[in-house]
Structure 1
Amino acid sequence: MGMQDPHAHASRADITAYPLEFSGSGGEYFRVWIVNLLLSIVTLGFYTPLARRRTAQYFYGHTLVAGSPLEFTAQTKRMLIGFVLFVALYAALKVASQTGQDTVVAVMLLGGAALAPYFWASAMRFRFNATRWRGVRLQFTASWAEVYRASLPAFFFAIVWVGGLAQIGMLLEPGQDRSLPMVIGVAVAAVVISVLCAIRLEYNYKSLMVARGRIGGQPGRWKPQFGDFVRIWAATLAVFLGVVLLVAAIIAATLGGSFALLKNMKGGGIAAVLMMVAMFVAFTFLLFLASAPARAYREARMFQLVWNNIGVSKVARFKCRLRPWRYVGLRVKNVFLSLLTLGFYRPFARVSEYRMKAESVTLHVKGGLDQLAGQLAREELAVGDAIADAVGLELVG
């Protein structure tokens, strides 16, 4: 009889559970982060793709799936060429806009909008192909027709706003009666439709990544519904409004006491100035914090939803036990500490958040891990990446 895998937890006779592990630490990642930061500054930003590669390699290499680390094998040359080309395109757009070449700018913007789905899919293919587990690579196999169908909400979003702004312009023309209620109605409708488009786009892209993802030839399995995403966004809005009301109450109480104190300061002077500066800093600080809980809540709920409802064909599935409010508390603490340390706590914050998410996931394998790995291995027989990074599609998270 073979020795049992120490990372495995038996659940049923034919299914074994493997909790994911993260072996990194904030102190280790701080050294990676500070070197990346300094070299990016010295090279005027051109070290960015190499910094991102080192960051991905650190987090992937310390993420253990069934006892084996992930690997990030992207070639530095490809990432650097993609970044330089992106910088060149951005510089060309800026030059054209500053020299009054409106036609060129319009053509470039329209071309960028039309090619955005292509860049996104190219980034996904690059990142999937650069990811390995036990020597088996991931693949993104969506066709271009599927990618552009998934991207339709983005184009509809643009049409809604172009049409909405045109309608508002017509309503505001001289001679229009009772135009204000209609303007408000059009604006509200445009906002609601735009939010639904954004949610649908997120749903389409996530579902495409999983359903058209492959590991060793095995397809991904996707179960969430669009309604699940809408409910998470609605709950996030409720959290945001609740936090805003709480912050508003704190600001009102603070300002009331501060104004009373200022009135009692005879002659004003340096004490009054310092008090006003402190009030401004506190006000800015609280406004920044107001959105942090809502963003963390949405991130945690979405992470929980996705990882509880995906799998690999019929041989493996994932379960997630992440607690959203605990994650929100961690994010708020990390934001406070990052601000108080002028950003130097950020590496520790990133590691702690990544650890909480990674270690909340468990892989359940049917038929044994060796059988799964063997089957995957047998069946296996970066402009897009740079642009995706520019719009916030992170390698790690």
Structure 2
Amino acid sequence: MLDTNTPDKFIFHGAGREYFKIWLVNLVLTIATLGIYAAWAKVRTRKYFYQSTELNGNRFDYHGDPKAILKGNLLVVCIALTYVFSSAYSPGFAGLIMLSVIFLMPLFLVMSLRFHLANSSYRGLRFRFNGAAKRAYGKLMVTILISLGFFVVLGMVLGIGRGLINLEFSGVTSVLMIIAASLLLGTGIAFILAMFISGLRLFVMNHSKFGNAELKCGAQFGEFGKTTLKSTFLAGLALFLLAIAAFAINMSLFTDAFDFSMPLSEETPTTEDSAAQEQAHVAMQAMAMLSSLGAIALLAYLVLFAFGAYLKTAIDNLMWNNTTLANQHRFKSTASPIAATWIHISNILLIVCTMGLFLPFARIRSTRYRITHMAFVPVGSIDEIMREEQSKQKAFGDSMGDALGLELGI
């Protein structure tokens, strides 16, 4: 059946000033109640963002119970407090708690997804998640085992590298070895990221439903690999250039510091004054070196932050452009990873400059860009889709309310 319909674009009606008021009240009440109001704040925030998102003249909605979220929050706080106190008196028990939490993460993920989707709706029709915890364990365990294998091999390579350091190589050979090792490390990291992201994102998408209509993503691992490899290469190149800049700046400052050890003038070869001036000069050089290192570290953090924003946007595009609803209706995502990266970087700079007050505006800004570059491409009328799925809702509608009475923030 040919698709003759034009895409229905998603529209976001959220405004920075509106959300700032909600965010401020949530923050004050959460602090005043020692965190208890955080559950109600989460529901209020989700309702605002869901109800501000429109598709085909209708808006989404969220129906989560704050009390259920509070249970999850209290459980997380109890685990965290137990870990903190036990780490001071029984490090072994604290380690056991940490391992237990890591082991239970796939189960927590499935629980949270069931709760979250069961309480999300569009035109009165609920979403749902039917993924099993054992499948989540399977997906994540494969990635964990591959990651461990990679780091074992990496450790062996580093051990061999230490042995090669004692051998004499020409400058060109040493540079080529460093470049080869960096490329190997970057490729390995990209492969592990691709394994983890593809397994997790495909698990979530392919077990999500809108009513009884299944969401299915046909993206292949090779596509995830290309996306993560490109993002990792760009981030690695930026970090490499920063490392060169840091080395050049500090070598220049280090050289200047030693140049000062020569007499200042013919009249004052070595006096107490010149010694004091030299010490002051060396101290200034040291402060300059520390400042330059701090600036380089900040830039490196921004590079890693940009890497995350770029990769997430590219993966989102890959996922949605390969996803169908009920095996026929499609989605379209046209967000630019570069533009999204600039939005996230400028957001974090504005948040820092405003001491956090720009945070709600930043969230509105990034959400608006993401949603307004999404579209739904139906085959036939979207009203026909809704009527068909609403007629099936009774088959499972009663069971959704107790899909899970708990949400764990992950």
Q: TM-score range by the shorter chain?
A: 0.7 to 0.9
Q: Cα offset for 1:272?
A: 5.9
- 1:153 shift after superposition: 2.3
Residue in 1 that maps onto 2:77 = 87
Q: Work out whether residues 27 and 348 of structure 1, in 8 Å CA contact, stay in contact via their aligned partners in 2.
A: yes
| Structure 1: distance between partners of 2:136 and 2:405 | 17
Cα root mean square deviation, aligned: 3.9
Q: Does 2:365 match 1:352? A: yes
**Per-residue deviation, 1:191:** 8.9
Partner of 2:35: 45
Match of 2:376 among 363, 366, 381: 363
Which residue in the other structure is 1:123 paired with? 112
1:386 matched to 2:392: no
Match of 1:136 among 121, 125, 133: 125
- Report whether the alignment pairs 1:296 with 2:286: no
| 1:217 aligned partner | 212
Displacement of 1:295: 1.8
Structure 1 letter corresponding to 2:38: T
CA deviation vs aligned residue, 1:269-308 (integer Å, no higher than 9, x gap): 9x969x8586566445423322232222112111111111
Which runs of structure 2 are paired with 1:229-268 in the superposition (5 Å)? 229-248=224-243
Partners of 1:194 and 1:246 lie apart in 2 by 19
How far apart are the structure 1 equivalents of 2:324 and 2:304?
Answer: 32
Q: Which runs of 5 or more structure 1 residues have no equivalent in the other structure? A: 1-11, 389-397
Match of 2:50 among 53, 60, 81: 60
Residue in 2 aligned with 1:335?
348
1:156 alignment partner, one of 135, 142, 145: 145
TM-score relative to the length of structure 2? 0.76
Number of aligned positions between the proteins: 366
Q: Distance in 2 between matches of 1:330 and 1:123?
A: 29
CA contact (8 A) 1:25 1:351 kept: yes
Q: Distance in 2 between matches of 1:44 and 1:191?
A: 43
| Structure 2: gaps (5+ residues) | 166-177, 265-275, 395-403
Q: Larger radius of gyration, structure 1 or 2? A: 2
Q: Which residue of 2 aligns with 1:204?
A: 199
Larger displacement relative to structure 2 (246-255 or 115-124): 246-255
Task: Summarize the Cα distance change of 1:157–1:91 in structure 2 as closer, same or farther, 3 Å threshold.
Answer: farther
Question: For structure 1, which segment, 376-385 or 352-361, has the greater mean C-alpha deviation from structure 2 after superposition?
Answer: 376-385
Residues 238, 145 of structure 1: CA spacing in aligned structure 2 closer, same or farther, 3 A cutoff?
A: same
- Conserved? CA contact 2:186–2:233, under 8 Å: no
The CA distance in 2 between the partners of 1:27 and 1:45, in whole Å, is 24
**Residue pair 1:142, 1:208 contacting (<8 A) in 2 also:** yes
In the TM superposition, what whole-angstrom CA distance separates every residue of 1:79-125 from its partner, at most 9, and x where no partner exists?
A: 001110111122222222221262x3354334323322111111111
The question of whether the paired residues in 2 share the 8 Å contact of 1:20 and 1:362 is answered with: yes
SS at match of 2:378: strand
Q: In the alignment, which residue of structure 1 is the partner of 2:221?
A: 226
The whole-number CA distance in structure 1 between the counterparts of 2:217 and 2:78 is 38
Where does residue 168 of structure 2 map in the other structure?
A: none
Q: Which residue of 1 aligns with 2:268?
A: none
Give the alignment's TM-score, normalised by structure 1.
0.78
Classify 1:181/1:91 alpha carbon distance in 2 versus 1 (closer, same or farther; 3 Å): farther
Moved more, 359-368 or 40-49: 40-49
Which among 112, 132, 135 is matched to residue 146 of structure 1? 135
Q: Which whole-Å CA distance do the structure 1 matches of 2:322 and 2:85 have between them?
A: 47
Identity of aligned residues (%): 22
In the TM superposition, residue 157 of structure 1 has moved relative to its aligned partner by 5.0
Is the partner of 2:301 in helix, strand or coil? helix
Structure 1 residues 81 and 318 mapped into 2: Cα distance closer, same or farther (>3 Å)?
A: same
Mark the CA change 1:320 to 1:188 in structure 2 (over 3 Å): closer, same or farther. closer
Residue matched to 1:6? none
Q: How big is each residue's C-alpha offset from its partner over 1:288-330, in whole Å with a ceiling of 9 and x where there is no partner? A: 3222322221121111111111121134210111122122222
AA of the residue aligned to 1:115:
L
1:313 aligned partner, one-letter code: A
Q: Which digits, 9 at most, give the CA deviation of each residue in 1:233-285, with x for residues without a partner?
A: 11111221232245456657877898999989x9669x969x85865664454
- Residue 334 of structure 2 corresponds to which residue in structure 1? 321
What letter corresponds to residue 60 of structure 1 in structure 2?
A: Y
Distance 1:124 1:100 in 2: 34
Do the aligned partners of 2:5 and 2:377 also contact (CA within 8 Å) in 1?
yes
AA in 1 matched with 2:214: P
- The Cα offsets for residues 119-153 of structure 1, whole Å up to 9 and x where unpaired, read as 11111111110110000000111233322222222
Query: What is the CA–CA distance in structure 2 between the aligned matches of 1:313 and 1:159, rounded to whole Å?
Result: 38
Residue 335 of structure 2: SS of its match in structure 1? coil
Tell me if structure 2 keeps the 8 A contact 1:164–1:190: no
Q: 1:109 aligned to 2:109?
A: no
User: What is the alpha-carbon distance in structure 1 between the residues aligned to residue 232 and residue 151 of structure 2?
Assistant: 25
